[in-house]
Amino acid sequence: MEKSINSQFAICEIENKSLSLSMKAHNGMRPQDIAVLLKILGMPDNWQNKHLAETLFISNSEISESLNRSIRGKLLSPDKRMVFEKALYEFIVYGLKHVFPTEPGRLIKGIPTAHSAPVLADYFVFDNAYVWPDPKGTKTGFAVEPLYPNQPLAALADKELYAKLALVDAIRVGRVREREKAAELLKISFERENASEYHQTQSR
């Protein structure tokens, strides 16, 4: 009888530990997860975690955790090969500014983002620029907090990623017309990458 009770206690302890780990695992998305998913969209199918880490300036362990969060959030396939673009697009356009809100801060030197970035420069003219704070930046504007600290480095090394992240910022901090144009351009970007991926698959 005592052995049976001890066994039951042991089973309960294991179940509680599993529940605790499960609850810890489901702790929501983090801002850098958006950058990781946007980066994957522009990469060949045979990308590796190591390459993601190197090009995004994020540690390997953080990349692994980010991918797992995106899988649980139904933004990435379980095999980590396919970003669910429709879900990601809807999350960025309708949810991002509520989940990861930010407001332009003090004037500082940095890298242009949102309506001030090249991707939107032909559509809007503003006296006030928005920038990611960066000592190497050449533009003075109101600071917009990037999704993660090393985002400016990753953006400067990848023009396509830079454009997407700037569009994301326009959706986060822009007015209605900037948000609408940014959403339109982001959708076009996703469609263009879909078409490119389709043609690559057909040519194999």
CB atoms near residue 78 (< 10 Å):
8
What average pLDDT score do residues 122-146 get?
92
Report pLDDT digits (tens) over 61-84. 999 999 999 999 999 999 999 999
Nearest Cα residue to 147 out of 42, 52, 57: 57
Quick one: pLDDT at residue 8?
47
Query: Is residue 198 predicted with pLDDT exceeding 70?
Result: no
CB atoms near residue 58 (< 10 Å):
22
State the residue for tokens 């030197």: 109
Query: Is residue 170 predicted with pLDDT exceeding 50?
Result: yes
Quick one: pLDDT at residue 18?
39
pLDDT bracket for residue 190 (50, 70, 90) = very high
Contact criterion met (CB below 8 Å) for 173 and 114: yes
Query: Is residue 99 predicted with pLDDT exceeding 80?
Result: yes
Quick one: pLDDT at residue 113?
97
